[in-house]
Structure 1
């Protein structure tokens, strides 16, 4: 498989999903679409804040992941696990930053601090 196709299928797909989440955020709390954790689903205020914040973080880090993976492929076309690692890292960083921000902004009952 062409390494550029591999990067576009892994990191490019992640970037496309982040654009979809950014431009089409979920309106109401649901069990299908959006950033769904116990904390994010406590009330509508947390839901909207969390999905907005996560979409921005996800867009930023998935774009960085895509550019970095393309750069790695440009330097060394014989890649294997690096684009997948970048994809997982960008997703993990987005989730961790979102959870940290929820904890800073909201208390355990779902009220703003």
Structure 2
């Protein structure tokens, strides 16, 4: 196995594996150990469930895209990979956070009540 492929598997592949675990086993109750933890997401149980579901779905999709893109870079482009796989990981996490925060703002008030 090439070094580039190992690099992609240990960065993008690990993120994809973690996203599957978070998706299959979401946190049930608000806690400070496991889950999508922002002040808004921890306001009440309804927001907590919504935020974790939204984040886990987004992370699953974007980490899969990141993993596939990293594999394509490693297998077909024949270039030395340095920052590219980590950039995909970073972008996957950032996009998932932004999408989750936008969904929270669209669906809940600042006081934690569901918008109509």
TM-score between both structures, scaled by the size of structure 1: 0.97
Structure 1 spans left out of the alignment, 5+ residues: none
After TM superposition, what 4+ stretches of structure 1 lie above 6 angstroms from structure 2? none
CA distance in 2, matches of 1:76, 1:101: 39
Distance of 1:76 and 1:63 partners within structure 2: 21
Partner of 2:17: 16
**39-48 or 1-10: bigger deviation:** 1-10
Give the distance between the partners of 2:18 and 2:46, measured in 1 at CA: 23
Shift of the alpha carbon at 1:73? Answer: 1.3
| Alpha-carbon distance, 1:11 to partner | 0.3
Q: Specify the alignment match of 2:103 in structure 1.
A: 101
- CA shift for structure 1 position 77: 4.0
Structure 2 stretches of 5 or more lacking a match? none
In the alignment, structure 1 residue 46 sits paired with structure 2 residue 47: yes
Question: Post-superposition shift, 1:99?
Answer: 0.2
| TM-score, structure 2 normalization | 0.95
Q: Helix, strand or coil: the match of 2:95? A: helix
**Number of matched residues?**
113
Q: Deviations over 1:39-94 (max 9, x none)?
A: 00000000001101110000000000000011011212411100000100011000
Distance 2:89 2:83 in 1: 10
SS class of match (1:30): coil
Query: Which residue is equivalent to 1:37?
Result: 38
Distance 2:37 2:43 in 1: 10
RMSD over aligned Cα, in angstroms?
Answer: 0.9
